[in-house]
Amino acid sequence: MTDIDQAKQAVRERVWRRLIDGDGAPADSYGKIPGFYGSEATAEQLAGLDEWREATTIKANPDWAQLPVRVRALKDGKRVYMAVPKMASVQPFYLLDPQKLTLPPEEAAEKKGAAQVAQRVGVDEVQPIDIVVCGSVAVNRSGARIGKGAGYSDLEVALLIEAGLVTMKTVIVAPVHSLQVIDDEIPETEHDFSVDYIVTPDEVIPCANRRRPSGLVWADLTPEKIAAIPVLTKLAATERPD
């Protein structure tokens, strides 16, 4: 583990404890993207943004905390691309089309429901993304964020950036509990992205720092990581720089 990795982990540990001790999330949120209390209210806050009302296509992580946002998007008639858990497919996204669902939005937006009714699609089948909804453990008001450490959000966004589907016009939001918003500096590396808005149950916080990677940072990917993610394995065979 590098010094930056250690520093990020220290922030995670501190925020998990702060969130659980402060009754912001159940105890089993430790080590995960927290399923924080008030996630339904964050969906309502997000839905009040002009960018949300104008959006037609949302990309969201599959964690429980962001379920209300995924449900709201489907109810608002928006197309939702939801990452396949752990990107365990060469087609790493579920397409949830509100016009074609055979389950209610509340069920279709869950992992189990999406696996039943959604079409799996590769990056080449994805439409341009208006809003990225990312799960986070901690964020600060500059827009820096940290996930749970597995790196899937970074990889999903990087793949979409390389394909020209996430651009500087795309809005990235982090729905979190207010206890996850910290004043501390959050270490960032080349593959990290920042968020444009932090959305809590009580407020929407605009962030001034817009950080986007240029795409996949192959130097940061271990052979084990590449082998574990089918779409990376495929890309490494054809597109990885020497």
- What is residue 66's predicted lDDT score, i.e. its pLDDT? 96
The dihedral over CA atoms of 200, 146, 11, 219, expressed in degrees to the nearest 10, equals -170
- What is residue 2's predicted lDDT score, i.e. its pLDDT? 81
User: Which residues on neighbouring strands pair with residue 205, listed in sequence order?
Assistant: 198
Question: Token pair 């990917």 is at which residue?
Answer: 221
Question: Token pair 């930056």 is at which residue?
Answer: 4
Global pTM reads 0.94
- What is residue 85's predicted lDDT score, i.e. its pLDDT? 87
Between vectors from CA 214 to CA 208 and to CA 219, what angle results, nearest 5°?
Answer: 120
- What is residue 51's predicted lDDT score, i.e. its pLDDT? 98
- What is residue 1's predicted lDDT score, i.e. its pLDDT? 64
- What is residue 57's predicted lDDT score, i.e. its pLDDT? 98
Give me the residue spans of the domains in the chain: 3-237
Query: Along the 242 residues of the chain, how does pLDDT read in single tens digits?
Result: 688 889 999 999 999 999 999 999 999 999 999 999 999 999 999 999 999 999 999 999 999 999 999 999 999 999 999 999 889 889 999 999 999 999 999 999 999 999 999 999 999 999 999 999 999 999 999 999 999 988 899 999 999 999 999 999 999 999 999 999 999 999 988 889 999 999 999 999 999 888 898 899 998 899 999 999 999 999 998 877 65
- What is residue 242's predicted lDDT score, i.e. its pLDDT? 58
Instruction: Output phi, psi for 96, to 5 deg.
Output: -105, 105
CATH topology of domain 3-237: Rossmann fold (3.40.50)
Catalogue the long-range contacts made by 112-116 (C-beta closer than 8 Å, 24 or more residues apart).
Answer: 114/62, 114/82
- What is residue 93's predicted lDDT score, i.e. its pLDDT? 97
